[in-house]
Amino acid sequence: MFKALVVDKDAEGKTFAAVKELQDAQLPDGNVTVAVQYSTLNYKDGLCLGSGGGLVKTYPHVPGIDFAGTVEASDDPRYGPGDKVVLTGWRVGEIHWGGYAQKARVNADWLVPLPQGLNTRQAMAIGTAGLTAMLAVRALEKQGLHTDQGPVLVTGAAGGVGSVAVAILAQLGYEVAAVTGRAEQGEYLQGLGAGQIVAREELNEVSRRPLEREVWAGCIDAVGGEMLARVLGQMKYGASVAALGLAGGAQLPTTVLPFILRGVNLLGIDSVMRTYDDRIDAWARLASDLPLQKLEAMVQEVGLAELPDLGRAILKGQVKGRVVVDLNA
Ligand code: NDP
């Protein structure tokens, strides 16, 4: 028997989540069984803990889009009992059962070995949010971003992706401008390395002018919507925006002018279907470029029973930094 947070649907189609005891025989198909030590809470988990947001197809369901733990049994030659592993992506926690359980059974292709220099708790303090932040940093670097080009904007900065993005960029020597709707998180963001705090109100309305003064050398955007549209018009000539989220909306009410008059690049960032090599590389960069004391400053640790409330909170943009779930709490 093992503990899991199970989401089910009642006759009226309303979902409800509860901690339950499950048996190994109830685990889904897969060739590696992992004793999960830590999972996390990401924006997508908020959706999967509640209505499902169109991501969850069958119930009962175990959410948790990422986890770290120890291999218990494996039919795949790449992993054996006792190996420490990390899982992100591959729609685990959405169409496959995920990490909100003391045991998970998955496909070996979806795993990576625990990165050197990180323990399982630290790997999940980073989690999908942090991996995505690193993928965005790498994409901007590939476009030629350098520390001498000016400030790099991070939107949704006090959230999970934003917090890690601020800390990585600052560690790499960039001047970081952090956009937040929570003025009270200014000190927290400065502690992570933000040199400038930008109030959300300054950017969350579309300007009547499609092009404004050129300000930002790069941007990591977790918000989308009107804020992304606004930011595109403020990018420096030839600069790039890594778009990875939709916390503020999925629409993009912009014009082509930033692209055709200023050569601005809009880079799409997906963390879910990344190749093994790509994930290995991004995790290695995280282990080297993210200061662990800053990572710790972002973390709150919880047990399974606290997740339904926190899931509702993250969808309202009320969670600060990263939530780590201890499966043995
Ligand atoms: P969080 O909720 O932790 O962070 C989102 C932040 O966005 C909030 O903390 C808040 O920051 C800000 N925000 C929330 N609502 C609004 C709004 N209406 N207008 C403007 N800003 C808002 O979520 P995550 O960091 O886990 O995820 C962020 C986004 O990235 C989500 O949309 C998620 O789906 C996406 N994502 C995408 C991935 C990919 O592979 N592309 C992987 C992981 C996440 P503040 O209070 O500082 O303003």
Give per-10-residue mean pLDDT for the chain (329 aa): 96 94 97 98 96 92 98 98 98 98 98 98 98 98 98 98 98 98 97 98 89 98 97 98 97 96 98 97 98 96 98 96 97
Q: Does 272 sit in the ligand 1 pocket, CB within 6 Å?
A: yes
SS (H, E, C) 126-172: HHHHHHHHHHHHHHHHHCCCCHHHCCEEECCCCCHHHHHHHHHHHHC
Ligand 1 pocket, residue 180 CB under 6 Å: yes
317 CA to middle of ligand 1, Å? 7
Residue 75: per-residue pLDDT: 98
Query: Pseudo-torsion of CA 130, 246, 272, 292, nearest 10°?
Result: 0
Q: Which of 39, 41, 43, 274 maximizes ligand 1 atoms within 8 Å of its Cβ, making it the mutation to test the pocket?
A: 43
User: What's the pLDDT at 208?
Assistant: 83
Give the nearest ligand 1 atom to 272 CA: 40
CB under 8 Å to 60, separation ≥6 — which residues?
6, 7, 8
The DSSP bridge partners found for residue 125 are none
User: Is any atom of ligand 1 closer than 6 Å to the C-beta of 159?
Assistant: yes
pLDDT score for 207 = 83
Mention every residue, 6+ apart, whose C-beta is less than 8 A from residue 244.
132, 135, 136, 161, 220, 221, 222, 268, 269, 270, 271
- What is the enclosing helix (H) or strand (E) of 314? helix 307-315
Which DSSP helix (H) or strand (E) runs through 179?
strand 176-180
State how far Cα 91 lies from the chain centre.
Answer: 13
Verify whether ligand 1 is closer than 6 Å to residue 248 (CB atom): yes
| Span from the CA of 28 to the centroid of ligand 1 (angstroms) | 30
CB distance 74 to ligand 1 below 6 Å = no
- pTM for this entry: 0.97
User: How high is the pLDDT of residue 108?
Assistant: 98
- Is 160 close to ligand 1, i.e. is its CB under 6 Å away? yes
> Tokens 């009320």, residue?
318
CA of 224 to the centre of ligand 1 (A): 9
Helix axes 276-289, 160-171, angle to 10 degrees: 60
Residue 33 Cα to ligand 1 midpoint, Å, equals 31
Atom of ligand 1 nearest to the CA of 189: 47
